[in-house]
Amino acid sequence: MTTYTLQHPEQGTIRYRDRKRYLWLLSVFMPVFPMMGIAAYYASGTEWALLLPLAFSYLFIPLLDWLFGSDENNPPEEIVPQLEEDRYYRVLTYLTVPMHFIVLIAIAAFIGSHELTLWSVLVLALTAGSYSGLGINTAHELGHKKTQLERILARIVLAVPAYGHFCVEHNRGHHTEVATPEDPASSRMGESIYRFALREIPGAMRRGWEQEKKRLARQGRSQWSLHNEVLQSYLLSAALQLGLVLAFGWIMLPFLAVHNVWAWFQLTSANYIEHYGLLRERQESGRYERCQPHHSWNANYLFSNLALFHLERHSDHHANPTRRYQSLRNFDDLPQLPNGYYGMYLLAYLPWLWYRVMDRRLLALPHIRGDLARVNIDPHRRAQILARYERADAAAVTA
């Protein structure tokens, strides 16, 4: 196992080993997990086996997060430059890119070569969409980096879920307006995930296109130029998905429609839980305060972080967007989710249960302490929320 060493003038010799170094391979092979269902189908002969990957994501991963618990260890800050220069970690993200293409094509080929019931095609579409949604997570890690190779790979992998505007929108839009009412990708207290999806998906698409249109205008280029990074990814998506239709027939049309929408909904689910109700303070100048770690919900659950390139250490990511996944830190007194992302997705899909668990957790945060003026509230439910909570005793809410 690689040991990083530094001679510090005051602290002496600092040594660090990343005990998760080889466990990060889980993030590389996570996109391949849908093949478990196909393998189980061949082994058992029953189409019910195709449900296995969905059960793994939404049932077993939350259970594994509960069993393995949290990992709050941080690498020494003095060692971080060495850790980030270790090419091993970035090669893992490179290897993940083709995995997403291989699995989507393999599932499409399976559907095209087998007589399956429509419900099985639906299950496979949801499965493929769920794991293609991880392609957006891969692009998220790559798209924040400064090297041209990583940015190109981000655009390529976004072709799988057909979400080519993501990196432009996320980097230039979401990271600028995060945890404000202006951000379509930041959910509000009292806003269900379904209402949020209707605001976030089209809002993010519009913002991504407008951001790229402005960038090209500054260069004197048309928005329809091949220099358009959003368009580049969407053209690759069109080629990929048209190729699947030509290769495997009309059944690909409903399969890809469900696949795409469910892949997008995976990002929506992540965005929903990452900033729910959190609000940056508006300063006297009219600008919002700088994004701080407490403007994101954090989760240190070991298993799901290993499966998602540390996406769940979202607080440090927003405070330091270019920091690589292996270096992301935990901080004390952060907003903490009660389970990893997959467990929280299930909770979010039941809005009444989500509100019951998360609203009081939100109001009890140290920087809020029951003060609704510090909360990003859904305007459609503002009156109802104010009536319910504004008269509550702050100490009782905190307790």
- Beta strands per DSSP E along 299-389: none
Nearest in space to 162 (alpha carbons), one of 211, 255, 233, 252: 233
CB atoms within 10 A of CB 231: 19
Report angle CA 150, 155, 159 to the nearest 5 degrees: 140
Reply yes or no on whether the pLDDT at 110 is more than 90: yes
Point out which residues pair with 70 in neighbouring strands: 301
pLDDT-derived band at 346 (thresholds 50, 70, 90) equals very high
Mean pLDDT (the chain) is 94
Nearest in space to 290 (alpha carbons), one of 145, 180, 167: 180
Q: How far is CA 64 from the centre of its chain?
A: 19
Over range 387-392, report the average pLDDT.
76
How much is the pLDDT for 93? 97
**Percent of the chain whose pLDDT exceeds 90:** 91
12 Rama sector, left if φ>0, alpha if ψ -120 to 50, beta otherwise = left
Q: How far apart are CA 253 and CA 81, in angstroms?
A: 47
- DSSP label of 22: T
Over range 234-257, report the average pLDDT.
97
- DSSP label of 5: E
The domain limits of the chain are 3-398
Residue 113: Cβ-neighbour burial (10 angstroms; 0-12, 13-18, 19+): exposed
Over range 149-157, report the average pLDDT.
97
Sign of CA dihedral 132, 137, 143, 149: negative
Residue 333: Cβ-neighbour burial (10 angstroms; 0-12, 13-18, 19+): exposed
How much is the pLDDT for 11? 84
How much is the pLDDT for 393? 46
Residue 391: Cβ-neighbour burial (10 angstroms; 0-12, 13-18, 19+): exposed
1-34 pLDDT per residue, tens: 688 988 888 788 989 999 999 999 999 999 999 9
Helix, strand, coil abundance in the chain, percent, nearest 5: 60, 5, 35
Q: How far apart are CA 186 and CA 164, in angstroms?
A: 20
Tally the residues of the chain. 399
